[in-house]
Structures are given as structure tokens and as C-alpha cells.
Chains A and B, each alone.
Chain A
Amino acid sequence: MHDLKGWAARLLVVDDNKVNRLLLTRSLELQGHSIASAENGRVALEMLRREPFDLLLLDMEMPEMNGFQVLEQLVGDRQLRDLPVIVTSSLEGIDNVVRCIELGAEDYLTKPVNPVLLKARIGASLEKKRLRDQQKELVRRFATPEVAQDLQTSGFSLGGKRVRASVMFSDIRGFTSLAESQPPEETIELLNTYYALMFDAISSHGGVVTMMMGDGLMAVFGAPVPLRDPSESAVRAAQEMVELIGLFNHEREAAHKPTIRIGIGIATGEMVAGYTGTNERATYTCIGDTVNLASRLESHTKVAQRTILIDDATRAALSDAVHVEQLGPVPFKGKSIAVDVYAVEIAP
């Protein structure tokens, strides 16, 4: 169990008044924390940008750079804006309190600060910070850098927006029988390598993997980060994926292991993109006809005996450098009219 009382944090105390500074430092040291102090906002910001702190205790009324100016700077600083700030001030007036909270301060304590209250508020703030850090770490581990960045800049909120993007589905052909023919450890190792290669190809072309299921994945190009050319990026990524699988197969052949083949479907159009789920567990995803079509195209690679299939909207946006072969209209389940399907030529 995590023991709050035992958690020694590194705190920065900012106050221009020596008595206040010494007193606050003493109180916090008695609570087991390690303290550094600064005598005005400018010095404090320099220290914050130089070394990591868990929490900032900020006075408002200071020469050179006051507390409000520090709060404003912190809000605009990507590295520092999650740093919890507790304002300790004897400034009067509820408008000052409101202004601090609006500028992102976590709490407002009136001086002279009651030590018991101080301890409780610091405990609460540090606990919140710990949870936020954990969350950030989870996001970093499970989301792509783009989604993590989007979450950090826009904040997390469920709900979507309409975007134009390209969607890719990809999976390993005949994976089930392959998995049954080898020990489970080898299957997991194979999947890990496969995913590492696919992620690399996708993200190097600006795509974002939004879903992984077994041996399949879904990726989006053009959301949440807009791309200049989502279709071209998606197709280029697909070509690179196939190329990487080729290299991977060389290694596997050399090790006398069965090779793998993948199928990729790409469709372009409007879709609804956003975070879905609950506030506790959510994922970035895209929904709409375009997504369904990409999935159908991926399934159709088995029938068509081609590795990469795309729809007409994707093809129309491609440069001449990409060669495609028209396969003609295919009647897909759930589509009232047949869809023109194109196979992307892959390097021999």
C-alpha cells in the first residue's frame, strides 16, 4: 500500500518574505519533505526549469515577478503545467482566490498557514500528482506519442468530432493455424516482433494505431494529428509494412520458422473520431462507413489474393508514384452499391 505520510516529496517554497519562507520550510521539513526555496517568481521559475519538483508553494505578493505571473508562465509551459501549486498568501479578497484557481492553482491557503491544514492539502495535492503521473505513464505506454500528445494538449474528454482521414486494417493471414502449430511463448514473441515492426512503419508515416486485437490492428492517418496527405501516408505505410514483413520472413526462414503474410485494407473519407469508453477506461477510435469499408477491404485481400487493397477515395488522392491495379467493383456486405477496389503494387 502506498503510504502518503511516508512519501517524502521535493517541494519548492517561493516567498519574498524571509520569515514566511523559513517558517514554511520548517513546517514542511517537519512533515518529512525536502525543501528548496526561492525569494521571488523569477528565481522560482529558473529553479523549476532546472530541476524537478513535486509541488510548488507560491506566495502572491512578490517583487520582480509575482505569483500571478508565475501561474501564467506555468500554464503556458508544457513541462511545468501539471506541477501542482498551492498558493500561500495573505492577499485578501475572494477575487484573488478565484484568479489563482482560474490560473490553475490547486489550492489556496491563507497566511499564517495552519500546519495541520497545510499537511492535509499537501497530502491531497501530492496524491493527485501521483495519480496524474501514473496516468501519464499509462498513456505513454499504451498510446502512441501522437495520441499521448493530443491528450496532453487538449485534455481528456469523451466525445468526438468529424474528421477526414484514412483508416487502415491489417492482420496476419492464417494466424490461427500458425498459433496452434507452435508453443504459445513463440506466438507471443512473434506477435511482439510483428507489432513492433508495424507500429514503426505506421508511426513513421504519421499514422496512429488505435486498436490491437490478436494479430490484427487498426490505424488512422490524419487524426488526431492532421496530415497533409492521409491517403498517401497510409499507402506508403502499408508498403513499408509489407517490406518489413519480407525482411522479417528472411530471418524466420533462416531460423527454419514458418513465414507470415499480412493483408491490409485502406479506405479514406469522413468519420467520427474521438475518445470513447468511460472516464476510467477510454480509447481513441474512429467510427463510420469509411472504417467499415477498410475492414471489409482487409478481409477481401484473402479473396482477391492481393496484399494491399484500397478504395476509390484513397486511390484518387495518390500520387503517380504509387502504382495501382483496378480490380473492378466488389459487392460488400452492408453496401448497397458495389465498391471499386484497387490493389496497390508492392515492390517485388
Chain B
Amino acid sequence: MTTPTIDRPTFDMLEQSTGAEFARELVGTFLQEAPTMLADLRDALAKGDADRFRRAAHSLKSNSNTFGALQLGALARELELGGIAKATANDGALLTALNAEYSRAAAALDELRHA
């Protein structure tokens, strides 16, 4: 079984516990912030800043899991724990996968936000 882009029970729970309107606004905040985190990852990688790289991956992981973007969260976690070495392995395959998964998650979240 593959992990869905957005785990609905997690997202529904978020809506229930904080209110639908708030949850949607929060998605908006995430969609604004996430590109900065992704850029941070790339920049930290280019500069070899391991600490910053780990922090950016950590933030992305934490937020992804909040919205039920579990696959994105899992990829970010791999980068957080594996660090720069893991990110540069296989021609940066992991980072590519992360970017692709982010596009899917962002689209799915945006759809949920306007549902």
C-alpha cells in the first residue's frame, strides 16, 4: 500500500480540533513558508551548512506531518537524519523526490483548502 499524498484522517483531525477556517488559513501559511524551507535546504546544501540543512529538513518534516503529508514528511525525515551526505547521494535523488512530493502535496492541500 502506498502512502497517500495527504492522509485524510490527519487532516480531518486538524480541522476538527482547530476549526475548518483556521485549518485552511494554516494551510495557506504552510504554502507560503514551505518554498522558503525548500530554498533553505538547497542553499544550506550548496554552502555545506549541515546545521541549517538539518533544521530546514526538520521544520519541513514537522509541518508536513501536521497536515497529513506523510510521504513528504518521511522524505524530509530521511534528509534530517541523513544530513548532507544523504542529500548528495545518488545525484541528489532524495532531494529531487522531495521536491516532486512537495509539488503533489501542495496541490492536494490547495485543493482541500478550497474545497
Q: Does B62 contact A (CB under 8 A)?
A: yes
Chain B 48-75 against A: per-residue CB contact (8 Å), 1 yes, 0 no? 0000001100110111011000000000
Task: Name the B residues within 8 Å of A22 (CB-CB).
Answer: 26, 29
Question: Which chain A residue lies CB-closest to B25?
Answer: A22
Q: Which residues of the partner chain A approach B19 to less than 8 Å between Cβ atoms?
A: 26, 30
Are B18 and A112 in touch, CB under 8 angstroms?
Answer: no
Interface size class of B (residues with CB under 8 A): 10 to 19
Which A residues are CB-close (under 8 A) to B22? 26
- Would B33 and A63 count as touching, CB distance under 8 A? no
Let me know if A19 and B26 touch, CB within 8 A: yes
Known contacts A90-B61, A111-B62, A112-B65; A19/B30 CB under 8 A: yes
Task: Give complex CA distance A170, B18 in Å.
Answer: 64
> By the criterion CB–CB under 8 Å, are B62 and A112 in contact?
yes
Task: Classify the interface of chain B: helix, strand, loop or mixed.
Answer: helix
CA A20 – CA B26 in complex, angstroms?
9
> Which chain A residues border B61 with CB–CB below 8 Å?
90
For A, the interface residue count at a CB cutoff of 8 angstroms equals 18
Q: Which of A19, A27, A63, A112 has the most CB of B within 10 A?
A: A19
Asked if A229 is at the interface (CB within 8 A of a chain B CB), the reply is: no
- Which B residues are CB-close (under 8 A) to A115? 17-18
A116 to chain B: closest residue by CB: B17
25 contacts between A and B (CB under 8 A): A17-B33, A17-B59, A17-B62, A17-B63, A18-B33, A19-B29, A19-B30, A19-B63, A19-B66, A20-B63, A20-B66, A22-B26, A23-B18, A26-B26, A61-B54, A61-B58, A63-B55, A90-B58, A90-B61, A90-B65, A111-B65, A111-B66, A112-B10, A112-B62, A112-B65
Q: Which residues of A contact B (CB under 8 A)?
A: 16-20, 22-23, 26-27, 30, 61, 63, 90-92, 111-112, 115
Interface residue ranges, B against A (CB under 8 Å): 10, 17-19, 22, 26, 29-30, 33, 54-55, 58-59, 61-63, 65-66, 81
A19-B33, A111-B66 provided; 7 other pairs, C-beta below 8 A?
A: A19-B26, A19-B29, A19-B66, A20-B66, A26-B26, A61-B54, A61-B59
